[in-house]
Chains A and B, each alone.
Chain A
Amino acid sequence: AQKITQTQPGMFVQEKEAVTLDCTYDTSDPSYGLFWYKQPSSGEMIFLIYQGSYDQQNATEGRYSLNFQKARKSANLVISASQLGDSAMYFCAMRGRNYGGATNKLIFGTGTLLAVQP
């Protein structure tokens, strides 16, 4: 069965510092995709970054980067130079070939609540 695990219910980080949010996954699919979403207190889920299982390089999007370690089945999100506006819930999600197919179904972790302190 496919599963996403986020072991950090909550984290604090000082403004301008970097922070790593952990995500491990379990799948027997050779082809899969990993996503990170941000959910501010307003409630809307915002797509941040994507990593494909066959991608040779770790994904980066501005201050977000994904530390993808395939052998360890981990896909940690790194946020550099944290800002107050980064305070939010962060979700890791996975799409597998068998689970998603053309319909792109995702399974989500339980989330990590990040609080950025001034």
Chain B
Amino acid sequence: DVKVTQSSRYLVKRTGEKVFLECVQDMDHENMFWYRQDPGLGLRLIYFSYDVKMKEKGDIPEGYSVSREKKERFSLILESASTNQTSMYLCASSSPSGRGYNEQFFGPGTRLTVL
């Protein structure tokens, strides 16, 4: 089974702190994604990566950056956390060489609170 893990289930940070959210997948997937989930808004794509050291902006990249130094690891960085970044963050991975419809596999999520 595909396993996507995230470094923390719950995280509390102060405004202005630099925050790192880590995601690791064990199925050699090329694609990795970061979403944030807010009530009434569904999941919104922040950044994604289709290869090591490659990244592209999603729909809401402002205030975030990412890093992918190794294929299995995709990090989301909040350079200076703000209260409006309080949210559930979900990481996902997929592979175009998988099943024909290439579903995304998700991690358990990190609930981040910025005070």
Contact = CB atoms under 8 A, between A and B. Distances in A.
Interface of A: 4, 6, 9, 33, 35, 37, 42-47, 50, 52, 91, 93, 95, 102-111
B31 A104 contact: yes
Nearest to B110: A43
A21 B56 CA distance: 32
Interface of B: 9, 31, 33, 35, 40-45, 48, 50, 56, 58, 88, 90, 92, 94, 96, 100-109, 111
B63 to A, nearest CB: 20
B102 A108 contact: no
B105 A104 contact: no
* B31, B44, B101, B108 pick with most chain A CB within 10 angstroms: B101
B39 to A, nearest CB: 9
B37 to A, nearest CB: 8
Q: Which 6 A-B pairs have the closest CB atoms?
A: A45-B106, A43-B109, A108-B43, A110-B42, A108-B42, A50-B101
B108 A35 contact: no
A111 B90 contact: no
A103 B102 CA distance: 9
A55 to B, nearest CB: 10
A106 B93 CA distance: 12
Contacts of B90: 43, 45
B103 A50 contact: yes
A2 B59 CA distance: 13
A106 B42 contact: no
* A4, A9, A43, A52 pick with most chain B CB within 10 angstroms: A43
Given A47-B104, A107-B45, A108-B44, 15 more contacts: A6-B42, A33-B101, A37-B106, A42-B108, A43-B88, A43-B109, A47-B103, A47-B105, A50-B101, A52-B100, A93-B43, A108-B35, A108-B42, A110-B40, A110-B41
